[in-house]
Amino acid sequence: MKTTNLSLVSKALLTIVGLLFIGSLFVPLWRIELDAPQYPEGLTLQLHANKIAGDVDIINGLNHYIGMATLHTENFFEFKILPYCFGTLALIAFALIFINRRKAVLVFLITFVLFITLSAVDFYRWNYEYGHNLDPNAAIIVPGMAYQPPLLGFKQLLNFGAYSIPDIGGWMLTAAGVLLAIVVVKEYKFKKSI
């Protein structure tokens, strides 16, 4: 008999996915670490679902000298909507347990991948605007220099090394995506019909 219902293992994994989405609301999602000789302990900017944290005041002070705009949570609409997005993703993961259809899980995985892709494009746009739209009257002007931190990885910005990497919440979202993919592969591999 052909079935499109989810296995108990898949339902357990969906429960974990929902909990990972909820958990990501309470920890930093992403971090930008800045290393320079004058700051041997380093500076960190942490992006949560609802705020910017870390050494924000020090970084804003440094950015002022090179003409970058200051960073404030209230300047980004994303911090208003991301908690609702993650809450909705968690509710959908839990609802899929009761919907009990593998095709619905596949649609959810595709939706999540699109959400992450759009989030990455938006984060790149942030970095680009803050790194390129500089005050022409700044105290330090280096012709042709932009201060856009990397989307992911390392970039040298004058005497600062900038590392842009996932934080705890980012790894939780990655784990949620991997678990969703495992559910889809498991369900479609062992149950051939849709």
Mean of the pLDDT values across residues 27-32?
A: 96
Mean of the pLDDT values across residues 74-96?
A: 96
pLDDT, residue 194, reads 45
Residue 27 · residue 168 · CB < 8 Å = yes
Mean of the pLDDT values across residues 10-18?
A: 97
| Residue spans of beta strands (DSSP E) within 116-194 | 153-157, 160-166
Residue that is written with structure tokens 């950015």 in the block: 63
Mean of the pLDDT values across residues 83-105?
A: 96
pLDDT, residue 1, reads 45
Q: How confident is the model at residue 192 (pLDDT cuts 50, 70, 90)?
A: low
Residue 11 · residue 174 · CB < 8 Å = no
Residue 43 · residue 55 · CB < 8 Å = yes
Structural domain boundaries in the chain = 8-187
Nearest to 146 by CA among 123, 162, 122: 162
- Asked whether residue 190 carries a pLDDT value surpassing 60, the answer given is yes
Q: Tens of pLDDT along 144-183?
A: 888 888 989 999 988 889 999 999 999 999 999 999 999 9
Answer left, alpha or beta for residue 70, where phi above 0 means left and psi between -120 and 50 means alpha.
beta
The pTM assigned to this predicted structure is 0.89
Pairing of strands 39-47, 153-157: unpaired
